[in-house]
Amino acid sequence: MLNTDWLFFQQALLGWYRPDRRPMPWKAIKDPYAIWLSEIILQQTRVEQGLPYFERFVAAYPTVVDLAAAEDDAVMKLWEGLGYYSRARNLLKAARMVTAEHDGAFPDTYAGLRTLPGIGPYTAAAIASFAFDRQVAVLDGNVFRILARFMNDSTPIDTGKGRKHYEALVSSALGATQARTFNQAIMDFGALVCTPRKASCHQCPLADQCASLVAGTVYDRPVKEKKLKRRSRYFHFLVVSDRKGNTIIEQRGEGDIWQALYQFPLIEVDRDGLTTEALPQQDGWPDWLPADQLKLTRRSPPFKQQLTHQTIVAVFHHFTYPELPGEIVGRQVVKNKMFSNIAFPRVITKYLADKTLLLDLF
Ligand code: SF4
């Protein structure tokens, strides 16, 4: 592509850009902590959903040093509902690293930012350009889409080679324009004009030179090589309570989803349609739980949670047990009224929020 085309691209994009079209927390500030926080919170989260979380985090932890000193459980609780809990764990790790190794000051280069846990190429470019005016372009889903469409480029975006190709393209597109403004403009443009399913091509300032518009391939771009395969997992949670309003919970371990979050004792099977009566015969039924002393009070309908590579189908079996054992290794007995203070995965909070299923828990 000739340089003049990028000149057109830059002029059209920056001519279209107005900061107030899409107010975002990082637009008015240059504080790397707040920019970083908002970027991490808004990854894979809709802006309307993420903004209240951002505000709560800044209020609870006004500086990176405050966040570094926070209790892990308190941060997980504040994060509850956003999903992708590894982001919250990395948030804490990065805050502690900035505090311990950088005296509470974020590294001010792209390469320096990339050394922090949870800061990938996109977030590093965003912080480096927004907070430190570094000349580096962001490359995220919006940018892949805009470039692939504008160029009618069928290079797959999900391969190492493809990524390098688009990194080179976006650097050319950025050219000598101010990265801070260019990055904000291209992200807004992807969110408001060149959107995934309903692109506003008829009002688009790039339309005159948009190759996929001419070729009729707008919705075939960008191209992905690997189609996402999701596996289903069937979770049966044992909600075991006594008559005094206590229930048994446990903390999830490492090496799987929802690390360090809490749950009810779980039996996982690889197929749908397991009856409650068949549960005690499954691998994973707890030794400390005598099936003949339990009374089933309710079985929930299935609750689904979609993760990137997995579909979780959860059924909750609610039992009463005359007297809960005082101590069970690896598990805790908690008052049901404390549930709102405990960090559960989203599928459990959805179940707990469904009062029609929980009349005898509250
Ligand atoms: S013309 Fe349509 S596809 Fe091309 S850049 Fe504009 S909005 Fe995107």
CB of 151 sitting under 6 A from ligand 1 = no
- pTM of the predicted structure, to 2 decimals: 0.70
What are the catalytic residues?
Answer: 39
177 Cα–ligand 1 center, Å:
21
Q: Which residue has the tokens 């209790």?
A: 71
Helix residue ranges per DSSP H, the chain: 3-16, 32-42, 47-60, 64-68, 72-79, 85-101, 110-114, 121-132, 141-151, 160-174, 179-192, 211-215, 346-353
Peptide bond into 222 cis (omega under 30): yes
Q: What domains are defined for the chain?
A: 3-220 (1.10.340.30), 231-357 (3.90.79.10)
Tokens of 130: 């927004």
Residue 149 in contact with ligand 1 by CB distance below 6 A? yes
pLDDT in tens, 139-194: 999 999 999 999 999 999 999 999 999 999 999 999 999 999 999 999 999 999 99
Q: Which atom of ligand 1 is nearest to the CA of 201?
A: 2
Average pLDDT over every residue of 325-349: 87
Nearest to 35 by CA among 136, 128, 137, 138: 128
For 256-291, write each residue's pLDDT tens digit: 788 889 999 999 998 888 899 999 998 889 888 888
- Residue 356 binned pLDDT confidence (cut-offs 50, 70, 90): low
Atom number of ligand 1 nearest to Cα 205: 6
**Model confidence at 28: pLDDT above 90:** no
Band (101; pLDDT cuts 50, 70, 90): very high
Atom nearest to 204 CA in ligand 1: 6
29 CB within 6 A, ligand 1: no
CB of 201 within 6 A of ligand 1: the answer is yes
Pocket test for ligand 1, best of 145, 169, 194 (most atoms within 8 A of CB): 194
